[in-house]
């Protein structure tokens, strides 16, 4: 498999920068007239695959909303990942895993290794047991041609207590960005390790040396508009991939309406940035 950074560059060039969240939370299932059980989840997932496969550059399934349905929900998630793997749309599995030692190795085997049972093109990871604790996951992802997005500056207000705390004269979030930049140094056309930086507030980070992608959640229902993205992320050395979920998914369950909502937001975003 080609390196994730290279594949992401091609995907964004061909289909725009939008990442569509696949978040089957209970209220959304109800709004679509679906049951809050594995059967309803499966119908939701099938509609998203039909609407977004080959249309969006990236889709981001939120693992928690599949996990809450137990083994049958995980089976639906596996089916979603496999369906998108057959086409050009990249999958970013939002799992936010982070641990140490053999436990981190286990997560890497589950999500990032060659033939991983829950393998996506990329996953989200939490570095707040120390950036070095992610080394085995980063190495496993690189060996398999997969990518990783590391939480840096999230949009939730509680995150500031940890992420903006000073560490050696710099914010903890900046130290995460700098660690990612070191991993991506020299990569062409783009490194495989990205960061997660919320799009709903000024982040105060220096992203000029990142040489990797930025996942920017918060577009749409959380308050960020396409016009905000260029200003918030000016000076980024890499690709910014804004993510939207509810503002697209509320158009469902009709597949054509879902696809049109994603295309409309993608076009607004492309024009703005």
Does pLDDT of 237 surpass 90? no
Q: What is the pLDDT of residue 202?
A: 77
Partnered with residue 242 across adjacent β-strands are 216
Question: Which domain, by its residues, includes 125?
Answer: 4-272
Which listed residue (25, 79, 96, 201) is catalytic? Answer: 96
Can you tell me the mean pLDDT for 225-238?
83
Per the structure, the count of domains in the chain is 1
- Residue 29: CATH number of its domain: 3.20.20.70
Largest CA distance in the chain: 52
For residue range 168-209, what is the model confidence (pLDDT) as tens digits? 899 999 999 999 999 999 999 999 999 999 987 778 899 999
Does pLDDT of 221 surpass 70? no
Q: What is the pLDDT of residue 235?
A: 77
Q: What is the pLDDT of residue 192?
A: 98
Query: Is residue 96 flagged as an active site residue?
Result: yes
This prediction has a pTM of: 0.95
Residues in the chain, how many? 273
Percentage of the residues of the chain whose pLDDT score is greater than 70: 99
In whole angstroms, what is the distance from residue 223 CA to residue 208 CA?
A: 25
With H, G, I as helix, E, B as strand and everything else as coil, classify residue 80: helix
């Amino acid at each position: 498999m080609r390196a994730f950074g290279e594949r992401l560059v091609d995907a964004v060039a061909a289909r725009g920068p939008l990442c569509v969240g696949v978040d089957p939370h209970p209220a959304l299932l109800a709004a679509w007239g679906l049951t809050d059980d594995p059967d309803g989840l499966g119908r939701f997932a099938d509609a998203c695959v039909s609407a977004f496969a080959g249309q969006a550059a990236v889709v981001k399934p939120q693992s928690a909303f599949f996990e809450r349905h137990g083994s049958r929900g995980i089976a639906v998630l596996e089916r979603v990942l496999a369906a998108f793997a057959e086409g050009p749309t990249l999958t970013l599995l939002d799992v936010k895993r982070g641990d140490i030692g053999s436990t981190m190795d286990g997560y890497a085997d589950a999500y990032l290794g060659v033939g991983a049972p829950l393998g996506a093109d990329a996953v989200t990871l939490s570095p707040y047991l120390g950036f070095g604790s992610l080394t085995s996951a980063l190495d496993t992802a690189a060996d398999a041609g997969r990518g990783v997005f590391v939480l840096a500056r999230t949009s939730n207000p509680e995150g500031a207590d940890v992420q903006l705390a000073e560490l050696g004269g710099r914010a903890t979030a900046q130290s995460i960005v700098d660690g990612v930049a070191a991993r991506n140094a020299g990569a062409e056309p783009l490194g495989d390790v990205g960061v997660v930086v919320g799009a709903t507030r000024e982040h105060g980070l220096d992203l000029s040396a990142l040489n990797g992608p930025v996942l920017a959640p918060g577009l749409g229902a959380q308050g960020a508009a396409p016009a905000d993205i260029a200003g918030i992320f000016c000076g980024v050395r890499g690709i910014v991939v804004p993510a939207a979920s509810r503002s697209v998914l509320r158009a469902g369950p009709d597949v054509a309406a879902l696809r049109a909502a994603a295309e409309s937001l993608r076009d607004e975003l492309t024009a703005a940035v």
